[in-house]
């Protein structure tokens, strides 16, 4: 790689996810390999506005590839959404001689990148979100770890549900995307799975499946619900999607479900091998893009290959739920006539 920049920054923004540290490590080590100084920007865009930075070297990223969360911390920044905040961030880059920024996060992080790029700073985004809902990439950092965390928790729940002959309603993350719920539902052999993207009917997709399972001799049932299975108006009536489904099951079937909301436990934990390797490959590619003089790029995982895409185009790519996985899920949970 031909060196065209002398100093770059790396930050994490938005919700944390397993694998962010592996990506930070890859950016730092690749930068050093290319003779580029890497500056760690703490607390996302807020840190860039306020100059909350630290020089990074090999020692500063030693033994972090296996750690969850982010050593650079993360925060959401209302100030950065303003023109004045963006000018402050650009001024920090100019003051410190930061020629390019690698930002790890989701769609909101990428929009922040575009705002900063208008002030003359080269930017590259790395997708990191457990929801795996960034349309331009087939895979985002953190998804595999979150799925495995949810599967392990649900397997443990199944043991006690089976022992007590109960129905369990489990809520997994996914306010606007059902990827995680769908994937976990297949992996755990759920009785029913409800996601935002697929129209569902309570009688057909929950009640009748529980009845069918009971008539077949089963006495415990696992219902998996994405947190965004109901729209915002409906969800206001209940604390969460899982609680609403549990009440509907109670009213319709006369059984007392147990609700488990996995919540932020899905974001934590040591990243899986897949997330570590993907994050490392993406971090390397991000530095490679900046060295090549590119800007406004998103690093993407497409059909097993790591590539990059124009950031504005990337943000226009819609997110789709896997219809093949949905067909598989319907076959696995459907009622056999």
Catalytic residue among 52, 131, 133, 144: 131
Instruction: Give the C-alpha separation, 29 to 47, whole Å.
Output: 22
State whether the Cα torsion 58-63-65-71 is positive or negative: negative
Q: DSSP letters along 245-262, please?
A: HHHHHHHHH----EEEE-
308 is catalytic: no
Q: Element (H or E) spanning 55, and its range?
A: strand 53-56
Q: How far apart are CA 142 and CA 135, in angstroms?
A: 15
Of 203, 181, 198, 200, nearest to 190 by C-alpha is: 181
The whole-angstrom distance between residue 181's C-alpha and the CA centroid of its chain comes to 13
The CB-side HSE value for 33 (13 A sphere, CA atoms) comes to 12
Among 80, 61, 62, residue whose Cα is nearest residue 13 = 80
Token couple for 63: 């033994």
User: Which residues have a Cβ under 8 Å from the Cβ of 65 and sit 6 or more positions away?
Assistant: 21, 22, 25, 271, 276, 280
Q: In what order do the strands lie in the sheet with 100-105?
A: 53-56, 37-41, 7-12, 100-105, 122-127, 297-302, 305-310
Please give the Cα distance from 98 to 195 (Å, whole number).
42
Neighbours of 84 (CB within 10 A): 10
CA distances, 44 to each of 87, 89, 103, 303 (Å): 15, 11, 8, 30
As annotated, the active-site residues are: 131
């Amino acid at each position: 790689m031909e060196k065209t920049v002398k100093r770059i920054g790396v930050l994490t923004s938005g919700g944390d996810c397993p694998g962010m540290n592996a990506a930070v490590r890859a950016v730092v080590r690749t930068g050093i390999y290319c003779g580029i100084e890497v500056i760690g920007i703490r607390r996302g865009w807020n840190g860039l506005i306020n100059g909350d930075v630290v020089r990074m070297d090999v020692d500063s990223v030693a033994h972090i590839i296996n750690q969850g969360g982010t050593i650079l911390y993360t925060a959401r920044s209302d100030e950065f959404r303003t023109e004045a905040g963006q000018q402050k961030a650009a001024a920090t880059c100019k003051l410190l001689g930061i020629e390019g920024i690698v930002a790890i996060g989701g769609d909101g992080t990428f929009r922040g990148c575009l705002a900063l790029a208008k002030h003359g700073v080269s930017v590259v985004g790395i997708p990191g979100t457990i929801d795996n809902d960034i349309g331009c990439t087939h895979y985002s950092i953190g998804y595999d770890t979150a799925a495995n965390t949810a599967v392990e928790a649900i397997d443990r729940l199944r043991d006690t549900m089976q022992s007590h002959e109960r129905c369990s309603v489990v809520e997994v993350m996914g306010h606007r995307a059902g990827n995680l719920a769908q994937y976990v539902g297949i992996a755990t052999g759920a009785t029913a799975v409800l996601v935002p993207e697929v129209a569902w009917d309570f009688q057909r997709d929950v009640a009748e499946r529980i009845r069918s399972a009971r008539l077949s001799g089963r006495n415990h049932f696992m219902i998996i619900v994405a947190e965004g299975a109901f729209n915002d108006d409906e969800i206001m009536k209940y604390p969460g999607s899982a609680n609403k489904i549990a009440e509907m099951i109670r009213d319709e079937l006369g059984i007392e479900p147990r609700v488990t909301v996995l919540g932020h436990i899905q974001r934590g934990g040591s990243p899986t091998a897949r997330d570590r390797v993907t994050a490392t490959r993406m971090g390397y590619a991000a530095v490679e893009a900046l060295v090549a003089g590119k800007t406004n790029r998103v690093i993407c995982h497409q059909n097993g290959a790591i590539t990059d895409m124009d950031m504005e185009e990337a943000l226009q790519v819609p997110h789709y739920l896997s219809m093949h996985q949905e067909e598989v899920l319907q076959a696995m949970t459907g009622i056999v006539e």
